């Protein structure tokens, strides 16, 4: 999914206040299904710090891929083992007995130093484990192998694992994205039945779940061929315009308020034109309206 950040403008003409989902036809029922799913686990939103940036390539196309390895204490550190223990584990019948908690972010497109577009992914890990892979070549190679395998599994493309470079003069490519980290009970990372990668990692901190932003999604016109989707969000007066970050892909919408409220993140039931999105905030009604023309 490609995403674009939307500039929010004030429009005093928006008058609606009712934020429930309206079901008018089978397509609206599908909207309800998409928007009614509630994450059963509390989470917190974190902004990782830069670590280092790795450049690699896809196979067989040879397209550039940048991986920002970044740091946050919200992700637990794997148990500390020696090089000898790691080699024993990797040579054993069950190498998955050693797990590396990490958070793999959504892919995006950034311009490289030549101005050409390249795919970028942020991978967040614990700072203590980052210090270990910075100093130890064996753990670094092991970690990058795990990361590349995780990206391949999640996004279904192949990486040339023998052709990568850690950039010396750049800690990250583009702006690091926020990560939504689930908060669950912490367990020791020694279970032999778990995979090497713990996607959507656990955290040791006990953090209350932020309040949710109320919203609804509807189609226009209500019947016949869809012209556009309209998403409306009730924005509390305590949230300032500068705190809002709206990103829309062809089939996904994400609204972030810098951790003040829970992230609104859902897939759209049809593709929309990212180039002509209209987002307006009415501060009289505390209502954000996002008009998304549908690609026919």
Q: Convert the pLDDT of each residue in 4-61 to its tens digit.
A: 545 454 443 333 333 333 334 454 455 445 544 444 455 678 889 999 999 999 998 9
224 within domain boundaries? yes
Each residue's pLDDT tens digit, 219-262: 888 888 889 999 999 999 888 888 899 999 888 899 998 888 88
Same structural domain for residues 215 and 246?
Answer: yes
Q: How many CA atoms lie within 13 A of 152 on its CB side?
A: 14
Structural domain span for residue 65:
44-198
50 & 191 share domain:
yes
Same domain, 169 and 221: no
Query: How are strands ordered across the β-sheet holding 287-293?
Result: 9-10, 278-282, 287-293, 228-234, 215-220
Which H helix or E strand runs over 101?
strand 100-101
Last residue of a domain, one of 169, 198, 227: 198
79 lies in the same domain as 179: yes
Q: What is the pTM of this model?
A: 0.52
Kindly state whether residue 250 falls inside one of the protein's structural domains.
yes
**C-alpha span between 285 and 173 (Å, rounded):** 38
Residues 114 and 9 in one domain: no
Residue 203 lies in a domain: no
DSSP H helix total and E strand total for the chain? 4, 20
Same domain? For 282 and 261 the reply is yes
The number of domains in the chain is 2
Burial of 60 (0-12, 13-18, 19+ CB in 10 A): exposed
State whether 34 and 60 are in the same domain. no
- The answer to whether residue 204 sits within a structural domain is no
């Amino acid at each position: 999914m490609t995403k674009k950040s939307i500039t929010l403008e004030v429009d005093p003409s928006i008058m609606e206040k009712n934020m429930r989902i309206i079901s008018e036809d089978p397509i609206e029922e599908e909207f309800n299904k998409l928007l009614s799913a509630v994450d059963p686990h509390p989470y917190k939103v974190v902004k990782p710090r830069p670590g280092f940036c790795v450049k690699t390539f896809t196979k067989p196309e040879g397209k550039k891929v940048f991986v920002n390895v970044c740091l946050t204490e919200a992700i637990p550190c794997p148990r500390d083992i020696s090089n000898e223990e790691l080699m024993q584990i990797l040579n054993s019948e069950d190498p998955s007995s050693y797990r590396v908690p990490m958070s793999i972010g959504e892919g995006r497109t950034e311009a490289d130093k030549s101005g050409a577009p390249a795919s970028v992914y942020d991978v967040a890990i614990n700072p203590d484990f980052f210090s270990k892979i910075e100093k130890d070549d064996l753990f670094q190679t092991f970690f990058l192998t795990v990361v590349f395998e995780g990206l391949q599994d999640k996004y279904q493309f192949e990486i040339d694992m023998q052709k990568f470079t850690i950039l010396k003069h750049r800690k990250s490519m583009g702006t690091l994205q926020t990560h939504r980290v689930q908060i669950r009970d912490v367990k020791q990372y020694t279970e032999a039945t778990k995979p090497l990668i713990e996607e959507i990692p656990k955290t040791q901190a006990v953090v209350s779940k932020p309040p949710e932003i109320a919203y609804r999604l509807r189609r226009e016109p209500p019947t016949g061929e869809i012209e556009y989707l309209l998403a409306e969000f009730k924005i509390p007066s305590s949230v300032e315009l500068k705190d809002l970050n709206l990103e829309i892909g062809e089939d996904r919408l994400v609204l972030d308020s810098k951790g003040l409220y829970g992230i609104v993140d859902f897939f759209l039931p049809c593709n929309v034109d990212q180039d002509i999105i209209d987002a307006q905030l009415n501060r009289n009604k505390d209502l954000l309206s996002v008009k998304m023309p549908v690609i026919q």
